[in-house]
Amino acid sequence: MEFAQILDKAKELVTLYGVNVIAAIVIFIVGRWIAKAMKGVTKRILEKNDVDATLVGFVSNLTYFALLTFVVIAALSKLGIQTASFIAVIGAAGLAIGLALQGSLSNFAAGVLMLIFRPFKAGDYIEGGGTAGVVEEIHIFTTQLRSPDNKTIIIPNSKITSDNIVNYATKDTRRIDLIFGVGYSDNLDKVRQVISDVLSQESRILNEPETQIVVAALADSSVNFAVRPWVKSEDYWPVYFDLTEKMKKRFDEEGISIPFPQRDVHLFNEQAASAA
């Protein structure tokens, strides 16, 4: 084939496909610019709403690559390449990956929800996922707690969100629920006065809400007093332990008994019963 014929054939191909090639390039360039712009918009929206930095980076990058995938498919389609097979392959791969990573994806979804709605934050003491501790780190797939005895607990996020979450750090004050059992022979008015005296000597107890001192139950071996003072959240356990110790010592000083479970055992003489 002569050079002139080759040149003519090239001109023919450029005339036939050149417009589509240029259009595909334009689609790719403009689409990529739009994908980057949407990535930036997504990042700013998430940062404005104080979303965790880990989630901000992940979601913004996911947005960019998802849009870029559609841009590449549109550009290939403009070149005359059949993209239906590409879409089918991507869909099948997505389904297979989703089935293989079902547990991980549920943890991821739970992590995203926790980072968006923030039922707790680092430093909060919570109960969740069948355990309790101080939140140290919140990741996309897991949450790390520190137990009261300084153990590290790593919980899958889906296990936390699938059950109740108790956050002890969201309120400034907490109520201490104490039960003190006294004997049936003890004077209840005296017991109430003694309890009030012990509480009045504890400066960490708040005046409002008012402390409750009530007879809660007539139990099998004791009369149970429910004592419910309010304290600042950070004072909960120190006051709880101090009151328990002080109340025991004061009861001993006042001669107030703290009964323990008892049973009366009645013995029958079978021979005497048969003789009668």
Task: Render pLDDT for 211-259 as a digit per residue (tens, 0 to 9).
Answer: 999 999 999 889 999 999 999 999 999 999 999 999 999 999 999 998 8
Q: Residue 185 above 80 pLDDT?
A: yes
Query: Is it true that the peptide bond before 238 is cis, omega within 30 degrees of 0?
Result: no
Same domain, 23 and 91: yes
Residue 179 lies in a domain: yes
Each residue's pLDDT tens digit, 260-270: 766 667 777 66
* Selection from 126, 162, 130, 158 nearest residue 145 by Cα: 126
Q: Residue 3 above 60 pLDDT?
A: no
Same domain, 90 and 11: yes
What is the average per-residue pLDDT within 128-150?
89
- Three-state secondary structure call for residue 125: strand
Domain of 243 in residue numbering reads as 173-254
Question: Which CATH number goes with the domain that contains 74?
Answer: 1.10.287.1260
Same domain, 88 and 177: no
User: What is the model's pLDDT at position 49?
Assistant: 72
Q: What is the CA radius of gyration of the chain?
A: 36
Residue 267 lies in a domain: no
**Of residues 75 and 209, which shows the higher confidence score?**
209
Same domain, 200 and 180: yes
Each residue's pLDDT tens digit, 10-65: 556 555 566 677 777 778 888 888 888 888 888 888 777 776 666 676 677 778 87
Q: What torsion, rounded to 10 degrees, do the Cα atoms 222, 223, 228, 229 define?
A: -90
Each residue's pLDDT tens digit, 61-111: 778 877 888 888 787 777 666 666 666 666 666 656 555 555 567 887 888
Three-class DSSP labels, 185-251: CCCHHHHHHHHHHHHHCCCCECCCCCCEEEEEEECCCCEEEEEECEEEHHHHHHHHHHHHHHHHHHH
Q: Which of the given ranges, 110-119, 131-140, 147-156, has the highest pLDDT on average?
A: 147-156
Q: Please give the share of the chain, as a percent, with pLDDT higher than 70.
A: 76
Same domain, 10 and 78: yes
Question: Which CATH number goes with the domain that contains 137?
Answer: 2.30.30.60
Question: Which CATH number goes with the domain that contains 219?
Answer: 3.30.70.100
Same domain, 47 and 83: yes
Q: Is the pTM above the cut of 0.85? A: no
Cα separation values, 40 from 26, 37, 56, 117, Å: 21, 5, 10, 22
Cα separation values, 224 from 157, 175, 182, 262, Å: 41, 18, 6, 16
Same domain, 136 and 158: yes
DSSP secondary structure of 138-196:
E-SSEEEEE-TTS-EEEEEHHHHHTS--EESSSSSEEE--EEEEE-TTS-HHHHHHHHH
Residue 269 lies in a domain: no
Same domain, 19 and 77: yes
The residue type found at 133 is G
Residue 241 lies in a domain: yes
Cα separation values, 82 from 13, 117, 140, 193, Å: 19, 43, 37, 89
Q: Residue 177 above 60 pLDDT?
A: yes
Alpha-carbon distance 161 to 100, whole Å? Answer: 21
Same domain, 153 and 195: no
**Number of domains making up the chain:** 3
- Three-state secondary structure call for residue 128: strand
What is the average per-residue pLDDT within 168-182?
94
Q: How many CB atoms lie within 10 A of CB 155?
A: 17
Tell me which of 32-41, 83-92, 156-165, 171-180 is least confident.
83-92
The residue type found at 273 is A
- Three-state secondary structure call for residue 116: helix
Each residue's pLDDT tens digit, 109-130: 888 788 777 888 888 999 998 8
**Residue entry with tokens 């419910």:** 228
Same domain, 143 and 228: no
Contact 215/224 with Cβ under 8 angstroms? yes
User: What is the model's pLDDT at position 264?
Assistant: 66
For the four alpha carbons of 11, 17, 19 and 22, in that order, the dihedral sign comes to negative
What is the average per-residue pLDDT within 208-213?
94
